[in-house]
Amino acid sequence: MSKTAESTYKVEELKCTDLLVDRRVQRDQFQSKKVDAMVANFNPDAVGVVHVSRRTAGDYIIDGWHRNEAKIRVTEGAGTITAHVYEGLTLAQEAHMFLALNTKTLVNPLDKHKARVSAEDEQAMRIEQHVHAYGWAVHPDAAPGHVNAIQKLYQLDELSQNAAGGPRDPHILQLVFLTISRAWSNDRYASQSMILDGLGRLYLEHGSKIDTDHLVDRLKNYRGGPRKLLAESRQFANTAGGKVSMAVAWMVTELYNKGKKDGARSALPPWRKRT
């Protein structure tokens, strides 16, 4: 038996077609082109070992899914592969190991987040809580109710947690998802990265000065909804310069203040940030 930081493993030669995959630990998307390239330039010495968790229901790949699939194709299903076999791992431990074994390889941020959720990572679980609270879900497909901008969620979480004076309460993500959900339901354009960032920065800047009911009402009555808001913000950013998300914050500020007298206590200061 050999020791690792996670557990101990046995080295075994396993039949490739017997190995199973749990998508809670593995990537969402199987990369066919990656396997095609491995098959076209197959080098048995480069296959290395796969890492496997032995569960009651069978042997599940932690790392090496694509390499195992390439060997299945090259050997027409008859091949075996050398495996480090771990026993007694929890799902969280499997996910931790997947992340640890892929620090030097490019893992899609959504796949990484999914593994962090399975590993019960505190930040990932906090993000999931705020997203799910209003009926949204982190998902790679562009569809109503789905959020693809996972890196922006982590960025806004860090800004909220590390804000001057201590973590924001309510959390910035809570306010953002409450706002877009009440204004636009589960419109897929509402969860675009630039809109999340623009609203998040607005709440970060002004906090309790923002009347969320008033903001929701203004966004709900904005003709064209989030898709038009995004398009006009892009146009403004192209003309005036700066980031699209900052143009979103500027436009939302203008909507919020519409009809209010200059200098009114209930008005927000003009948004002047570009980056």
Distance from C-alpha of 171 to C-alpha of 126, rounded to nearest angstrom: 10
DSSP letter at 268 equals P
pLDDT for 274: 86
The burial class, CB within 10 Å (0-12 / 13-18 / 19+), for 73 is: middle
* The token pair that represents 82 in the structure block: 């050398």
Boundaries of every domain in the chain = 2-106, 121-257
The one-letter amino acid code at 158 reads: E
Omega of the bond prior to 170 within 30 degrees of 0, cis? yes
Q: Using alpha carbons only, give the angle 248, 249, 254 rounded to the nearest 5 degrees.
A: 95
Q: Give residue-wise pLDDT tens across range 2-30.
A: 434 446 889 899 999 999 988 888 766 67
Domain 2-106 belongs in CATH node 3.30.70: no
Q: For the chain (length 275 residues), average pLDDT per consecutive 10?
A: 57 92 78 85 82 94 90 91 91 88 73 87 95 94 93 96 93 97 96 97 95 96 95 94 95 93 84 89
pTM of the entire predicted model: 0.71
